[in-house]
Amino acid sequence: GAVVSQHPSRVICKSGTSVKIECRSLDFQATTMFWYRQFPKQSLMLMATSNEGSKATYEQGVEKDKFLINHASLTLSTLTVTSAHPEDSSFYICSAQDRVNEQFFGPGTRLTVL
């Protein structure tokens, strides 16, 4: 199947700093990517839909100024957690959708905010 990568796999940052997470589709073009958040032993919660060349669509309750999403190309979407706080610590997962609507997940990024 298609491969989606995320970078970094783990990041630790100080409270108040911003962190950028990259999601790349390595062998296909993804017009749409999705960002999820997963708390320990819990389900995945859809945060936003990222469309190439347009603004992201955020799910209800997700702060768009807090979680900035940019989908600058057909193979790259980035999630920037701005002014991170300890409550933003979580596992962030992206997925990429190909042209036949198959969806492939990245391996996730563990964010720890001190």
Partner 1 sequence: AQTVTQSQPEMSVQEAETVTLSCTYDTSENNYYLFWYKQPPSRQMILVIRQEAYKQQNATENRFSVNFQKAAKSFSLKISDSQLGDTAMYFCAFMRGSTLGRLYFGRGTQLTVWP
Interface positions with partner 1 (CB under 8 A): 32, 34, 42-46, 49, 91, 93, 95, 97, 101, 103, 105, 107-108
How far apart are CB 113 and partner 1 at their closest, in Å?
19
Q: In three state form, how does the secondary structure of the chain look?
A: CCCEEEECCEEEECCCCCEEEEEEECCCCCCEEEEEEECCCCCEEEEEEEECCCCCEECCCCCCCCEEEEEEECCEEEEEECCCCHHHCEEEEEEEECCCCCEEECCCEEEEEC
Among residues 82 and 89, whose Cβ is nearest to partner 1? 89
How far apart are CB 30 and partner 1 at their closest, in Å?
10
Q: Distance between CA atoms of 28 and 17, rounded to whole angstroms?
A: 33
How far apart are CB 83 and partner 1 at their closest, in Å?
26
Among residues 51 and 82, whose Cβ is nearest to partner 1? 51
Read off the amino acid at residue 31.
T
Among residues 3 and 12, whose Cβ is nearest to partner 1? 3
How far apart are CB 16 and partner 1 at their closest, in Å?
27
Among residues 65 and 100, whose Cβ is nearest to partner 1? 100
